[in-house]
Amino acid sequence: MKTKIIGHRGGAAGYPENTLASFKKAVELGADGVEFDVQLTADGEVVVIHDELIDRTMNGSGLVKDHKLSELRQLNAGEYLSSEFKEEKIPTLAEVLEVVKDLEVINIELKNYLPYPELEEKVLKLVDQFELREKVIISSFNHYSLQKIKKLQPEIKTGCLLMSKMINAADYAFKRGFDALHLHFLTADLEVVDKAHFMGMQLNVYTVNFPDAVNELLAKEVDMIMTDELEMALEIRDDFSKDQI
């Protein structure tokens, strides 16, 4: 099997996370896919941003959910990293899908610790508009939300995000009909990888930024490696695949 390399929040090192600049660069670098986080604005638009607060990555303050899209668009979303990116704005989900729609995998993480009414319905509607049902995997730390996704559209793949090394993680996810475990890479031992595969689920890991860890996870045959260092991980994976032939 060939492990897929997925750009985490875009994943192009040196590019601001979750911006169109980072997603365009991920496509250019040859990523197999990208992962990104979605939330809702005050006027119900699906936007791509990691933190609930805009303070870290934008030149404003407060919660995403308390700003209308038009207000957020007045701010920049890239200057926190470099003045080179001062024109970057917070992207909508539709804008990101337009950029990444030809990649093999699109991992949409519902970042909904806060309640976002109908986030699931809105995301699924856009996935359908772009005809991306086959290649999208929706993940979340909010497993109620994943259950809702499964109820609304059973054929959409879901990834059960976990932070801790949970007892019987594979059984937990399988029992709820999820399609994948999305584990912190340090918790992905061979036992859980093999068990997930035995149960017909994917085993995907985040966020892997060191060459040794990439090599170890390739040897364990995880399905997807999410990384902030796309160039590094793609090079190691491609060398690894050559050695397998």
User: Applying CB under 6 A, what is the total number of residues that bind ligand G3P?
Assistant: 11
Dist CA 144 CA 201 (whole Å): 19
Within 12-31, the residues that bind ligand G3P by CB under 6 A are none
**Least CB distance to ligand G3P at residue 245 (A):** 30
DSSP letter string over 37-98? Answer: EEEE-TT--EEE-SSSBSTTTSSS-SBGGGS-HHHHTTS-SSTTT-GGGTT--PPBHHHHHH
Q: Which does 148 bind (CB under 5 to 8 A by kind): ligand G3P, Ca ion, none?
A: none
The SS3 of residue 195 is helix
β-sheet bridge partners, residue 155 = none
The SS3 of residue 34 is strand
Name the residue nearer to ligand G3P (CB basis): 4 or 8.
Answer: 8
Active-site residue, 50 included: yes
Pairing of strands 4-8, 33-40: parallel
Does 139 interact with ligand G3P (rule: CB under 6 A)? Answer: yes
Active-site residue, 8 included: yes
Does 223 interact with ligand G3P (rule: CB under 6 A)? Answer: no
The residue annotated as part of the active site, out of 8, 143, 182, 184, is: 8
Name the residue nearer to ligand G3P (CB basis): 63 or 71.
Answer: 63
Q: Which does 206 bind (CB under 5 to 8 A by kind): ligand G3P, Ca ion, none?
A: ligand G3P
Does 206 interact with ligand G3P (rule: CB under 6 A)? Answer: yes
CB atoms closer than 10 angstroms to residue 120: 25
Binding site for ligand G3P (CB under 6 A): 8, 35, 37, 50, 109, 139, 161, 182, 206-207, 226
- Residues annotated catalytic, as ranges: 8, 50
